[in-house]
Amino acid sequence: MAELIFLIVCLGGATGLALNRAPLWAWAVAVAAATIAVKLGLASGELSWPGSGFLSFIGWIPAVVLGALSYEPFRRAALVQPVFKGIQKILPRISATEQEALDAGTVGWDAELFSGQPDWSKLKAVAPIVLTDEERAFLDGPTEDLCKMLDDWEIRHKERDIPEKVWNFVRAKGFLGMLISKDHGGLGFSPQAQSLILGKIASKSPDAVTIVMVPNSLGPGELIEKYGTPEQKEYYLPRLAQGKEIPCFALTGPTSGSDAATMRDVGFVCKGMHEGEETLGIKITWDKRYISLGPNATLLGLAFQLLDPDNLLGKGENIGITLALIPTDHPGVEIGRRHLPGGAAFPNGPNWGHDVFIPMSAVIGGVDRLGQGWRMLMSCLSAGRSISLPASSAAGIKSMLRATTAYARIRKQFGISIGRMEGIEEPLARIVEQAYVCEAGRAVTASMVAGGEKPAVISALLKYQSTERMRQCVNDAMDIHGGKAICDGPSNYIQGAYQMVPVGITVEGANILTRTLITFSQGALRSHPWLYREIQAVQDPDQDRGLRAFEEAFDGHIAFVAANVFGSLFHNVTGGLFASAPDHAFDTAGWYKQLARSSRTFALVADMTIALLGGGLKVKQKITGRLADALSELYLLSCVLKRYEDDGQPIQDAKIIEYCARNSLYRFQEAIRGVLDNFPIRWAGWLLRPLVFPLGARRRPASDQLGKEIVRLAMQPGEVRDRLTRDIFITNDVNQPTGLLEVTLVKVIEAEVAEKKLEKGIRDGRVRRYHGRDWIADAAENYVITEEEAKLLKETEALVARVIAVDHFDAAELVPHYQSDKVESAAAAE
């Protein structure tokens, strides 16, 4: 018994020292004290385990070593300097594009999660959803009007294009200049407002939102606003804001997608003729594809590698990636025909040019910004990727939830609403969960951007997570609707989203690469509390300064490792009981504790992965992908808890929070377990497992019963349903397919009592139901239902019939209009 007490005291003392980041001399004193205690225990007979005599002797060795290392000159000479020199020899230099990507973004809540000790006050400090009166009026006014104007079937099938009336409306109302400041003629809306406006449009037409999204995301407008010369701002920004210029940005080429370093588009500094005069400029040859708005653009933003073989600029030959603005009617610019991405109708296509000469004034930011293009792009991408795709994905999921829960309540099979079948409840619960989670992630991240952050790591994980979850929800909605979703036509409200899902998955960094190469790898460098400082110190050309900086970071890193080792073991043994939670958390304190516990686990596993795999991380993409998933779950759960508080902690949402939290923590557990099960260095995986899972992997996903309860909440018109689907386009116009759903849902619920009477009459044989017979009238005649109930059931039946109906066409109607025109022309010629 004494031995067990001694071990517990030693472990508790070590944990206390580690969590408080105690100095080395304190560890030396503690080890010496433990060694003396063993010796005294042996002498008194209190301790008697085998080998304890050897332990009382050998314990002095770490005590002496720790004591010696606590002396700074000795530690520097014996430990820090050899490690510093060793890392210098093996550490590959960060490439220019990698460095620019790292320098472009900011770190925020992701760094708190990497630290293992999240500061809850920083999460609370992120503003809730706040719009100005002007922004709210625009969301409720012009944005609502635009949604009413959009006909998804006309856009997707009949026109295969965005109608000119839509283009004219978005130009006239300023949609194309939301991010451009008022000083330059734009609306100057906040990122939160832009996000909600884009989401609302996306909920009506995934194609139409693209023509608003592109000018307000990564493109000429944002680049000029942030980096342009005064002349560029004065000329282009008002024209972009008013829609007099339609912008596109050409980055991707046949050989350079996610790997910008392989870009073959090249410009050479030279002299040439411009507007009748010889001037210093750039002769560019390029080949780009997948360029959204490209076929309609009047202003082309172009990324290319710039070379100066004659050193005309005095900066050497390799200048670097540079960005330029070129009118599409400029001599030599070729705008290609249209791509057809996933059958979607938004304009997208290639462009190219050969030896196209432009003046230096066409470079975004002028001569001072030559070679800085990649940093400029990454800075804008960090903010833009946080807004556009998360907004459209969250809105898409909310639309799937609104429509699918209504349809599942309306549609009946085997005498009950299909939404009450367990097989349907399961995917419905997934949609409810993702609607809450993705809206939470969207709102919190947009607020961060509005606060001045450029969250590189968060934007990457949110992009891939929101679009992947959107894909799952669209697929679930398709499964639940069955044939209704498969048969396209004017009454189909799912096909537009289904067609656009692969586009969102692919653009702004394909999800596969974003997950496996970008999110964790960048996070490891930017968000880790010590690693980036160590790398910067090692690569500092001033050796003395680098060694001093490395020593400070290295000492901090060692303390960080010790805190994570003992902290993970302690919190995982105690189930997070003693983990931190914010003072303001009442209903959610338990979830905050589990989040803090999981953050400590993540910090340990992430740190060990970085330390042991080093440069090999780039090729261990299954490991980094799982760690990206784990980080994503921590971030999104943080957003869920914050949303709940920002919404006023409505008691009706508590079960949704529980469902989201349980599943998020379970997915986190499985991602970490996957890392340990497949860790390339097997002994390290074995050593980490008892620290991470000392009692086994005990978390389980949310129960079926809890899923049933949140689905019932979502299928019932009221506050919960409206909160889950807020800020999307909702109509009660029965001539709109989603409006028909809304009206029919209310009518079906109203008619439930009368319908139960009718069903009983049918079962009792008093009413016969088959085609060719008015069984509702028969029921009224036989006093199964009243005349008023019969009227209500007939109205409901007519609405339900319209809801479950699918479109059908004459064969000629399905011929694409350009082929139809050919047929008509041939017939006229005959």
Catalytic pick from 508, 534, 633, 670? Answer: 508
Q: 144, exposed or middle or buried, with CB in 10 Å at 0-12, 13-18, 19+?
A: middle
Helix (H/G/I), strand (E/B), else coil: 116 = coil
CB crowding 717-742: b at 16 or more within 10 Å, else e:
eeebbebbbbbbbbbeeeebbbebbb
Residue matched to tokens 């008509």: 824
Residue 390 structure tokens: 């998360």
H/E run at residue 114: helix 109-115
Q: 388, exposed or middle or buried, with CB in 10 Å at 0-12, 13-18, 19+?
A: buried
Task: Calculate ∠ Cα 169-174-180, nearest 5°.
Answer: 155
Rounded Cα–Cα distance for residues 88 and 82 (Å): 10
Residue 212 structure tokens: 């608003």
DSSP at 154: I
Yes or no: say if 591 and 637 are a contact pair by the CB < 8 Å rule: yes
Q: Does the annotation mark 422 as catalytic?
A: no
Rounded Cα–Cα distance for residues 349 and 460 (Å): 25
| Integer angstrom CA distances of residue 23 from 20, 69, 70, 278, 568 | 9, 10, 7, 68, 20
Contacts of 198 (CB under 8 A, 6+ apart): 209, 212, 213, 216, 387, 388, 391, 392, 395
On the CB side of 819, CA atoms within 13 Å amount to: 7
DSSP at 157: I
Yes or no: say if 454 and 104 are a contact pair by the CB < 8 Å rule: yes
Query: DSSP characters for 353-420?
Result: EEEEEEEGGGBTT-GGGTT-HHHHHHHHHHHHHHHHHHHHHHHHHHHHHHHHHHHHHH-EETTEEGGG
Task: Calculate ∠ Cα 631-460-540, nearest 5°.
Answer: 85
Among 752, 804, 745, CA closest to 405: 745
Query: DSSP characters for 600-632?
Result: HHHHHHHHHHHHHHGGGGGG-HHHHHHHHHHHH
**Distance in angstroms between the alpha carbons of the first and the last residue of the chain:** 105
Beta strand pairing call for 318-327 and 266-274: unpaired
CA max distance for the chain: 117
H/E run at residue 348: strand 348-359
Q: For residue 727, is it left (φ>0), alpha (ψ between -120 and 50) or beta?
A: left
Give the active site residues: 508
